[in-house]
Structures are given as structure tokens and as C-alpha cells.
Amino acid sequence: MSQSPIEQLLAALEGRDVDAVVALFEPDAGFLAVDGGRGKGTDAIRAMVAAYLAALRSSDYRVTAQWHQDNVWIAEVDASYELQDWLELSSVPRAFVVREGQRGISDLHVYGAHEQRLSDHRTGEEGMWVGERWVPPL
């Protein structure tokens, strides 16, 4: 049995292979990232994936459950990351929803379950991150 499109995507991400990731998508595919970023088309997806991988030293994904109905795949995934600053995040829950088209992934949505509560919003007094750089409050 061949791998699901989600398993193929996760293998390409683990391999840090931007070209392999992009090759899985249709030319006009859509992408919604866990941080709310959106991309349409392979150029936008390439830029988003390249930025994502640039922030990581490594990543590991374990599919814990997966469902398939018609052209839709859904998977629960435990993701582990080692960031460029050596911070390790283990067993971060993710959900992937993939819609397949005729020539590959037509739409990908990735959701996370470790974000802060809405009531825990930042005030701005603690500084902020811009890209990979911390900017202290003035």
C-alpha cells in the first residue's frame, strides 16, 4: 500500500527537502499553516516551507491516527522539533487536513493544539519576536 499524501509530506519535511514538498502540490494549491499564514500556488508554498525549515535544525513526525474519505485525508500527528537555537519541542499535537486534486495536493491545512489561550494575550510590555530576532519593549 502506498503512503498517504500526509505521510509523503511529512517524510519530505523530515528530509528537509523543499523541492520534494513542493512537488506534492498542484500548481494552484492552497496552504494554511499552523501560525495562520496562508499561501496560494507553488511559489508561495515554496517560500513558506523554506522559511519553516530555515527555523529548524530537525523535525520528526509521528502519525497517531489517520482517516481517508473520498479525496480528503485527515491525520493527527505528534511533531517534535529542534529549533536553530537548540530548543527542543517534543510531542507537539498537530492536525493535518489534505484535499487531493488530480495532480497532487490541492489544499493543505495544518492546525496546532499548543497555542496560548485567547485570554492570555500579549500586552506588548514583554517585547516581541520579529522573524528570528527578539525586540525588547521601548
CATH number at residue 43: 3.10.450.50
Spatial separation of the C-alpha atoms in residues 15 and 65, rounded to whole Å: 22
Average pLDDT over residues 79-99: 91
* Residue 102 pLDDT > 90: yes
Round the average pLDDT of the chain to a whole number and report it. Answer: 88
**Confidence band of 29 (pLDDT split at 50, 70, 90):** very high
Helices (H), the chain: 5-14, 18-23, 42-54
Domain that holds residue 31: 5-135
pTM, entire model: 0.82
Number of domains making up the chain: 1
